[in-house]
Amino acid sequence: MIGSIPMLRISLRTLVIAFCLCLAGAASAAERPKRDKVAPIPVPAPAVTPVTILSIIPAQAEQGARVQLSGSGFGESATVFLGSNEIPARLSSAKQAEFNIPPQLEPGLYALYLKRSDGTAGRSYNFLVLPVRPVLNSLQPAQISSCATGRDREVIAYGANFGSSSMLFFDGAALASSVLSPESISFNVPNVAGGLHHVLVRNAPENGSVALNLAVETKPEISQVSIGDEHVNYYELVITGKNFTQNSSVYVDGVQLGGRGGQDMTEREKLIYIDCTKLIYQRHPYSPVSKDFRLQVVNQGGEGSQVVTMSAP
């Protein structure tokens, strides 16, 4: 018992020292300042490559035409927008693309931009869609008589790309016409002077076909000479043909009858204008025996018909 007392004292002393050390450690921990938690450094998102258009060739085009775009950031697939109209683009690289203007798209000014498959869109540009240029190939007929009337003055223009907005121009002035089909337009030739006249078709003010010539013929032509009514001392020679005028003359064996500068032979024989297809020559024969003589119709401008040989009193 006596021997164990020192050991007990040592144990108690050890416990006291350990307890004091614990209290000191607790006090030190209480006095030590708390450290703030360090926030993680944000990782920046990868930069989005912009869609950039550097050139549009052509800057305006007709319906159905091909348009080429060059720039950068087009990606692997993209869509072209003309206004609200989506058009698939054909990409040869991230810098080259092309598309075709839909044939049914109405002509007008549109905002053109390219949108990549990830939703990124580029800046928009003004793009003018032109109507398809009309083509004029032929006129049927290409020549009419100046005195033609009614349906004989109707001409059909044949070609391509005619539509509801197509207008026909005659000598530079718009003329009433009817679009029969995308390949034909009909119109009536106005009353104009003889000679060559120009016909073209426009689908827009600056979108016209080449001009074709239409000839208005004024040269007189005799188709027939026949004996008409017979009277006591004269009979009528009926001259039929085309392009006769009120100032036309008839030359009988070289002698002028009627028209300006013409004289009525012996003040009896006369030339009467009926219309542009008929003249009546009142002939007073000095003998009932038939004889051959030559007739020619000449208009005021000097244009003459063929010479016709006639056998009559």
User: pLDDT class for 268, splitting at 50, 70, 90?
Assistant: confident
Fold topology of 135-217: Immunoglobulin-like (2.60.40)
- Superfamily of domain 52-130 in CATH is Immunoglobulins (2.60.40.10)
User: pLDDT class for 287, splitting at 50, 70, 90?
Assistant: confident
CB 113, CB 122: distance < 8 Å:
yes
Domain boundaries, the chain: 52-130, 135-217, 221-312
pLDDT digits (tens, 9 = 90+) for 67-114: 999 999 999 999 999 999 999 999 999 999 999 999 889 889 999 999
Q: Assess whether pLDDT exceeds 70 at residue 15.
A: no
Rounded CA-CA distance 204/208 in Å is 7
Check residues 19 and 40 and name the one with the higher pLDDT: 40
* CATH topology agreement for domains 52-130 and 135-217: yes
pLDDT digits (tens, 9 = 90+) for 224-239: 999 999 998 899 999 9
The pLDDT of residue 269: 87
**CATH number for domain 221-312, candidates 2.60.40.10, 2.60.260.20, 3.50.50.60, 3.90.650.10:** 2.60.40.10
Q: Assess whether pLDDT exceeds 70 at residue 301.
A: yes
Q: Mean pLDDT in the chain?
A: 87
